[in-house]
Structure 1
Amino acid sequence: MKRVLSAITAVLLSASAVPATAAESGWASVEMTPAEGWKVLESGYWYMRGGWPGTVDINITNRSNHDAGDLYVRLSFPPDKLEVTGYEGDYWTCWDVVGHPGYEGVHCTTDGFLAVPDEAFPTLKIHTKGREHHTDTLDVYAETSGENDVHAGVPYRIDLST
């Protein structure tokens, strides 16, 4: 029965998946790349075994015609189900945000880094661990003064079954 339910879940997930490279156009390009612990399924979903560590790399490139130095990034996800175990990257300062639906997750800013047009900000690495079996989306929003948010998102699944 467990295998039948898993097969049905996989079919349902693949029917509603969006590609991992989907991102809105705007002042910047935002890319999320699954690193250690995450796998990309044929459906486009990211997948991770619960309880195991995983890393997401976030890369943002200034596509505007002016310098950008006040970058603010928000990675949105349910923190009660997907734990952030750390974050790293040159010039990045991050903090956890909980209790504000839609804004929960990790928020980060760059300190003292100025990206000229077509220059990438340093890579931000977010270390994660699945807490419980669930399906949701990882969403990244990037902001800078005078520009609208730029968003990229990917559906994911944490599986705790044995």
Structure 2
Amino acid sequence: MTPSEGWTVLQTGYWSMRGGFQGTFDVNITNRSDRDVSDLHLHISLPPAKLAVTGWEGDYWRCWNVEGGAGAEGVHCAADFLAVPGEAFPTLKVHTKGLEHHTDSIDLYAESRGAEPAHAGVPYRIDLST
């Protein structure tokens, strides 16, 4: 995950965004397995009542909001794309908006049938102070 618009990366490694504003981050995944992958599924876990996902875009991606308890809510995406070993999937852009002052993390879980699941996460802070 890489912040692309609206997010600032602090020296501590935290991402920071001003509450009420839009922020976008990119999800880039490369097939590190020894087989073709055509069934990639992502779960992006974040607290949508505090950090709303306002949209997503990317060739070959389809995404939908999911609700559940902590860790289960966020966005689920699937890539309708075949990546050979070493090939990158198309970039997925996730658009967000900070709704209230808080600190949490954005966690991404990638899974493909027959492969070990992968996890990446980043702590973030939404600041509403003036």
1:141 aligns with 2:109: yes
- 3-state SS of paired residue (2:83): coil
Give distance in 2, aligned partners of 1:140 and 1:105. Answer: 10
State how many pairs are aligned. 130
Unmatched tracts of structure 2, length 5 or more:
none
User: Residues 100-115 of structure 1: matches in 2 within 5 Å?
Assistant: 100-111=69-80, 113-115=81-83
Name the CA distance, whole Å, in 1 between partners of 2:103 and 2:70: 16
**Distance (whole Å) between structure 1 residues aligned to residue 38 and residue 2 of structure 2:** 23
User: Which whole-Å CA distance do the structure 2 matches of 1:77 and 1:152 have between them?
Assistant: 13
1:35-87 deviations in whole A, cap 9, x for unaligned? 11000000000000000000010000001110000000011010110001100
Instruction: Name the counterpart of 1:71.
Output: 40
Percent of pairs with identical residues: 68
In the TM superposition, 1:119-130 aligns within 5 A as 119-130=87-98
Paired with 1:98 and 1:69, the residues of 2 have a C-alpha distance of 25
* TM-score, length-scaled by structure 1: 0.79
Superposition pairs of residues 1-162 of structure 1, within 5 angstroms: 32-111=1-80, 113-162=81-130
Post-superposition CA distance 1:91-145 (Å, at most 9, x none): 000000123321110100012x100000000000000000000000010100000
Between Structure 1 and Structure 2, which shows a larger proportion of strand residues?
2
Structure whose residues are more often helix by fraction: 1
Off by >3 Å, runs of 4+ in structure 1: none
Distance (Å, rounded) in 1 between the aligned partners of 2:57 and 2:113: 24
Q: Structure 1: how far apart are the matches of 2:69 and 2:76? A: 12
Structure 2 letter corresponding to 1:56: F
